[in-house]
Amino acid sequence: MPAPPLHPIVLWFGRVGDMILLSALLGILHRRYGGRCHVIGAGSWPGEIYACHPDVERVDCLRRYTAPLFDPNWWRVLAALRARTAAPVYVCEFDPRKLARIRRLLSLSGVAPERCLYITGEASWAERHWVDRLVSFGRLTPRAFDAAAYPWPSPPPLCAPHLEVAPAARAECGAWLAAQGLSDAPLILVQPGNRRSMRGRRLRPDTDDDKAWPVERWAQLLQRLHERVPAARLLLCGAPREALLLEWIAAAARRPEVRACELPLSRLMALCERAHSMISVDTGPAHAAAALSLPLLVLFGAQPQAEWSPRSPGGSAVTCLGGPPQYRRLTELSVQQVFEAWCSLPPRTLPVARAAAS
Non-local CB neighbours of 216 within 8 Å, separated by 6+ positions: 252
The mean pLDDT value of the chain amounts to: 93
Decide: 192 and 246 in contact? Cβ < 8 Å.
Answer: yes
**Are 109 and 84 spatial neighbours (Cβ–Cβ below 8 Å)?**
no
pLDDT value at 67 more than 80 = yes
* Domains 9-149 and 167-357 are alike in CATH topology: yes
pLDDT at residue 202 is higher than 90? no
Question: Mean pLDDT across the stretch 275-292?
Answer: 97
Exposure letters 77-93 (e unless 16+ CB within 10 A, then b): bbeebeebeebbbbbbb
Domain 9-149 has CATH 3.40.50.2000: yes
Residue 303 has pLDDT above 70, yes or no: yes
Residue 317: phi, psi to the nearest 5? -70, 130
In order, the DSSP letters of 48-68 are HHTTT-TTEEEEEEE-TTS-G
**pLDDT tens figures, 305-355:** 999 999 999 889 999 999 999 999 999 999 999 999 999 999 887 544 344
CATH class label, 167-357: alpha beta
Tens digits of residue pLDDT in 68-119 = 889 999 999 999 999 999 999 999 999 999 999 999 999 999 999 999 999 9
Q: Residue 356: what pLDDT?
A: 40
Provide the H-helix boundaries in the chain: 16-21, 23-33, 45-49, 72-83, 96-108, 130-138, 167-179, 215-228, 243-253, 265-274, 284-291, 305-308, 335-343, 350-357
Given a contact cutoff of 8 angstroms between Cβ atoms, the answer to whether 191 and 285 are in contact is yes
DSSP string, 72-136: HHHHHHHHHHHH-TT--EEE----HHHHHHHHHHHHHTT--GGGEEEGGGSGGGG-SSHHHHHHH
* pTM for this model (two decimals): 0.93
The predicted structure's pLDDT at residue 69: 85
Reported confidence tier of residue 243, pLDDT bands at 50, 70, 90: very high
Per-residue confidence (pLDDT) for residue 217, from 0 to 100: 98
Q: What percent of the chain has pLDDT over 90?
A: 88
Query: Which pLDDT belongs to residue 355?
Result: 40
pLDDT at 358 over 60: no
Domain spans of the chain, in order of start: 9-149, 167-357
The predicted structure's pLDDT at residue 353: 34
